[in-house]
Copies of this chain bind each other. A is one copy, B any other.
Amino acid sequence: MIIDCHGHYTTAPPAHQAFRDAQLAWVSDRSGPVPQRPDIPDADIRASIEDNQLRVLRERGGDLMIFSARASSMGHHVPDPGIARDWARACNDLTARVAAMFPEHFAAVCQLPQTPGGGLDDAVEELRRCVEELGFVGCNLNPDPSGGWWTSPPLTDRYWFPVYEAMVALDVPAMVHVSTTTNPAFHDLGAHYLNADTTVFMQLLTGDLFATFGELRLVIPHGGGAVPYHWGRYQGLANRIGRPGRATELLRNVFFDTAVYHQPGIDLLTRVIPTENILFASEMLGAVRGADPVTGIDFDDTKRYLDAVPGLDLPQIYEHNARRVYPRLTRPGS
């Protein structure tokens, strides 16, 4: 069985985005009523999935995708808590409908209603609702709700502890995933996402989060940003700060996905990071589109790269690690 741990609903029906657009318009001009989410027919959801993620999943031999709302649209930089709540609920309810419609092929992960500098009570409440009432298996946690201005404390700060407490109580992991950036220095997909992955790993290296939350599990997407490529640097930095071996110690709680879009990158990832810390992911339909003109392989068809690595324990990467990190995943039909 092949579980893709990182897919987003980038193809949601247009009415969903229209609701978001209405929300953003309302934030600028509150003279009208608060926008209400639209009714979206099952048929629209079905078509948007069958023609896209489900088709590609099947074509590539995948079985199950751990699925969440479009990451770049989470839009946590909008400071209104009510808007954030409504938007997260709308996104998560839509994700839940996909998972209910295709229970063998999609397991849901929730967006949290974060705001820059805002409290995390709403995030905890939404996480509980999604896991306990809707059967979600994890969440996406944004370490920079400001959207590229990095105004939040590091993930090791007590500010974040309410979310971690809920995660541990519910036995769900978080994928650490930023949203769009409003900072013109950063391209979302080509800089901000990877920078966040790198940044968070270093926050964890210098902090002591897992001394407090020993059971907490964090998935760093996009192959861990720059981290595996600079694994020697992190070992050396751990020495420098008087914590030799610390980079490796983090691997008790930290996992990397395989959203790395060429063979040399996957070769490095699987050579450097222990197999038990690697979760299969394509992030389709996501950041990149189309095929490498040299190889003819879709850039994000990461299974092709993994299959080409000699001697790899593929069942571990394709299924077993995901089941360990996301224990609420149930087998189809169970």
Contact = CB atoms under 8 A, between A and B. Distances in A.
Interface string A232-252: 111111011000100000000
A244 to B, nearest CB: 7
A268 B229 contact: yes
Interface of A is mostly: helix
A48 to B, nearest CB: 20
Given A287-B233, A288-B239, A153 B202 contact: no
Contacts of A189: 233, 237, 240
Contact of A203 (B185, B194, B199): B185
A266 to B, nearest CB: 9
A190 B289 contact: no
A266 B154 CA distance: 30
Contact of A194 (B154, B206, B226): B226
Nearest to A240: B289
A327 B260 CA distance: 36
Interface stretch (A63-71, A102-110, A143-151, A313-321): A143-151
Contacts of A260: 229-230, 232-233
B198 A153 contact: no
A253 interface: no
Given A150-B185, A231-B265, 13 more contacts: A150-B183, A185-B203, A187-B199, A187-B206, A190-B202, A190-B237, A191-B195, A194-B230, A229-B268, A231-B262, A236-B299, A239-B288, A268-B268
A11 interface: no
A299 B320 CA distance: 33
A152 interface: yes
Contacts of A235: 261-262, 288, 292, 299
B290 A236 contact: yes
A25 interface: no
A260 to B, nearest CB: 6
A229 B237 contact: no
